[in-house]
Structure 1
Amino acid sequence: MEQYFKILNWDNLQTAILPISLCAPGFLIMLLRSQFITGRIPNIASASMEYVIITSLYYSLTVPTFIYVGEYNPLTLFLLVFLGPIIVGLVFGVIYQKGFMKYVYNFTHIHPIHHPAPTAWDYLFGSTRKGCWIIVTLKSSEPIFGYFGTESFASSDLEKRDIYIEKVLDDKWNVIGTDDYQRGIWIHEDEILSVEIIK
């Protein structure tokens, strides 16, 4: 038991806290932001530098406020390292999903090349509000008409692009079945040729 206490001395704790404090805010910001953007966040190993850069930007904007206030206690440290990044990540995610940055880009005539959504699939279903008509054309050239509502789902996995449509319609957009019995359909990614959204 004494060996464990020797391992958990202050110097070792400081060594463990340093990398956490360098990456935790950036990781939390990207994690919370990713909840509003389809597509998985990259793993820690490949995105560690991005987390450090985001953390550095976050600290450069927030630490001066804490220095100015002059309050250093467990509550303020918790706010700085954990709660603050969670709030920032949520705000960035909502800003993206609501399309606020599009208005800023259009107003300033700035068109960034890099987009937070990694693929067109992520962009389409990340910005599509539930409650629209959809046509999925299969590789056999057969179109599937449907209603993409709150019970529908489009994959957010970068390696699996399947889709579930809660209501299958005929080619005149009439529901197939009755209110008590409606047809939904799951479509495997290998069968999808194109997806058309009608808002």
Structure 2
Amino acid sequence: MDIWDVDKLILFIAFVVPGFISLKTYALLQPADFKDTSQQLVDAVAYSSINYALLIAPIYTVEYLNLKHSHPFWYVIFYVVVLLIAPIVWAKAFLWLRKTKYLQKTMAHPTGKPWDFVFSQKRAYWVIATLIDGRQVAGLFHTKSFASSSPSSEQIYLQEAWVVNDDGGFERPREKSAGIIILAKEIATIELFHI
């Protein structure tokens, strides 16, 4: 049995590649925990099958009209869309649907952690982090700041570090500070304030 046989390669491309593209697109848009390769292969075949089920009418029409012989260029373009573009569109559409309020009545939100939910919105905040030892660290989370996302452990970089006053408010920026990085394992709570 030769795995490089053309028929086997075509079957592999047809039933693994579209699903794999959908899985990778979804993972880029909505990071999640890593799955082992054997589970991803089963998922890829399932998502490829869904891709073909959603496109059965156009595929049937293209094959029925025999575009392979009458318009070979458009035939190739069509299957590039089916194999490469449509799986990206389905992944984006599915993620968008999962984030709608209607579907969230029956399905869990696709974002697994509040940390990812808050910081993926790319909003600016004043931040006060209370550390496990009781100390408070304050700063500005803005355009030059960064918060890690799943599956990485939570870390936050605040582009400006601020001094916390006796009342627990923001007194002034720390002198000569280039920001501060806070690790999640050191944080008890994070309080966010609108700018």
* Deviation >4 Å, runs of 4+: none
Structure 1 residue 79: Cα displacement: 1.0
Structure 1 residue 159: Cα displacement: 4.5
Q: How does 1:163-174 map to 2 (within 5 A)?
A: 163-171=156-164, 172-174=169-171
CA RMSD of aligned residues (A): 2.9
8 Å Cα contact 2:129/2:137 also seen in 1: yes
Identity %: 22
> Which runs of 5 or more structure 2 residues have no equivalent in the other structure?
69-74
Select the residue among 179, 187, 196 that pairs with 2:191.
196
8 Å Cα contact 2:19/2:45 also seen in 1: yes
Count how many residue pairs are aligned between Structure 1 and Structure 2: 180
Structure 1 residue 157: Cα displacement: 4.2
Partner of 1:76: 78
Q: Which moved more, 1:72-81 or 1:188-197?
A: 188-197
Structure 1 residue 85: Cα displacement: 1.4
8 Å Cα contact 1:152/1:164 also seen in 2: yes
8 Å Cα contact 2:34/2:151 also seen in 1: no
Distance in 1 between the 2:125 and 2:158 partners?
11
Secondary structure at the aligned position of 2:23 is classed as helix
8 Å Cα contact 1:105/1:111 also seen in 2: yes
8 Å Cα contact 1:38/1:125 also seen in 2: no
* Residues 1:101 and 2:94 aligned together: no
Secondary structure at the aligned position of 2:157 is classed as strand
Cα distance change of structure 1 residues 198 and 51 upon mapping to structure 2, 3 Å threshold: farther
Structure 1 residue 51: Cα displacement: 2.5
Partner of 2:24: 31
Cα distance change of structure 1 residues 151 and 58 upon mapping to structure 2, 3 Å threshold: same
Partner of 1:140: 133
Structure 1 residue 91: Cα displacement: 4.2
Structure 1 residue 15: Cα displacement: 0.7
* Residues 1:176 and 2:186 aligned together: no
Partner of 1:87: 89
Q: More strand by proportion, 1 or 2? A: 2
